[in-house]
Structure 1
């Protein structure tokens, strides 16, 4: 959830409420979404009070609350989703391209996963609380902590948590897939995990509402979270998000993390390009 990638082409202006009708639309969508998020968070925390003493780090019930809440948020927003393929049930992780903060809701609505995010997100108002409550793994962009992060990934993966990585390291304008960074895949080659672990590539494609800029859902550069969220709430109509689950790859079939990252990137980029052309 880090809008740091920039492009030479100026970003389209974000929509803003222009009159009473627009503000009523914002309230009609925004208030129910806030209520749903609040109720979902309260229920999740109550369930965790039972889960923790019985199952420890395992979460056999609470992730499904997150799935239901995310599906509800997308329905209230008016963003339709389409799924292709099936989420794996293997022991392992998912990787996807990253276009917007909306990815969190779209991907969590499709499968119970635990996102891997930069450490700063934990301190963001509202978003940080939701991220911590749903079991997000926070990492720091510091090479000195690489070994500790690998240990953290190993612990979560061995605990049968399905982690989801954004290997691009930044969100984009939704019209491209950036190179995948192989660093995060180091834990996959741990001797305790390599032979049993699978990684499933996931392609996320946004289709803008008719008549709008194709980059409508992209969140990048200097775009503020609040301004972009307001633009989504005020939009008269929404397009759709397409989630494509590709066949999972067995980590043991790859020589190293660079080879794995390269294959994952090629798979996601090819499907993304094909979906945009289609």
Structure 2
């Protein structure tokens, strides 16, 4: 049976005084960097829009710089293997935590595709809107509208990144990929030129901690997990593996492409993390 994040136990024991102390020691400077970067981004965004429209060739560098500072301040190590594709297209990855936002943006300037409810999340929703995130409702009736949004952004040359699992996990499982969002890649105007790059994201827990340490799933509170991660006495490792890009034109339909992406992501994980 497929592991279900909504049914799996997600313990949230109280944090120690030392954890809270380390959290504030890191959260304050990082908060200043995040909102300082956001201020600069908003100042530059209007002239950038006048000159380049929606292409946004400049401000993504600010977002990428802020994401890199997350690893500097938190103390978490970051490594990559493989190479981000230079060609036109999208990126798909397994989804373990809100940390993925920083992890995947550190190595490559991208635009996220996120579920619509994130738009209303305090702080996060504001940042997501400012950085060009695409918000979608995962309902069949809006599939055509979403495909059009994808087409428009891909035509501009944006690298779109989404999580086909549709939810985050405990960092130990890869769930079956949902196929709906892959349909936009088969538009006749895009199919022959687009590629999709599968990416495996692996989190190694700090020494002595459970391997699910960085996973964020089920009913686990974002605030509790944020304090846990930034307040950690020791930090672990985030690893990003870029697999060879898959040409959309080589696949007959969205289901075949989604299966190929899922297989690549799953094979990139350690053996014990390839489970459904």
Show the counterpart of 1:167: 164
Q: CA deviation at 1:47?
A: 1.3
User: Quick one: which of 13, 21, 26 aligns to 2:23?
Assistant: 26
Q: How much does 1:10 deviate?
A: 2.6
Report the secondary structure of 1:82's partner residue.
strand
Q: TM-score, normalised by structure 1?
A: 0.94
Question: Could you tell me which residue of structure 2 aligns to residue 6 of structure 1?
Answer: 5
Q: How many residues align?
A: 272
Contact 1:176–1:272 (Cα < 8 Å) also in 2: no
Q: Quote the residue 1:184 is aligned against.
A: 181
Instruction: Give 2:110's aligned residue.
Output: 113
TM-superposed deviation, 1:18: 2.1
- The 3 A distance-change label for structure 1 pair 94 and 271 is same
Cα pair 2:91 2:198 within 8 Å, conserved: yes
Partner of 1:150: 147
Structure 1 gaps of 5+ residues are none
Structure 1 segment 253-264 matched on structure 2, within 5 A: 253-264=250-261
Query: Equivalents in 2 of 1:75, 1:144: separation in Å?
Result: 43
Residue 61 of structure 2: aligned partner:
64
2:78 maps to 1:101: no
Given the two structures, how large is their TM-score scaled by the length of structure 2? 0.95
- Unaligned runs of at least 5 residues, structure 2: none
What is the distance in 2 between the residues matched to 1:38 and 1:234?
20
TM superposition shift of 1:22: 3.2
Tell me if structure 2 keeps the 8 A contact 1:168–1:180.
Answer: yes
In the alignment, is residue 234 of structure 1 matched against residue 231 of structure 2? yes
Equivalent position of 2:88 in the other structure: 91
Once the two structures are TM-superposed, the CA of residue 275 in structure 1 deviates from its matched residue by 8.7
Deviation at 1:142, TM superposition (A): 2.0
RMSD of aligned Cα (Å): 1.6
Q: Distance in 2 between matches of 1:16 and 1:76?
A: 23
SS at match of 1:56: helix
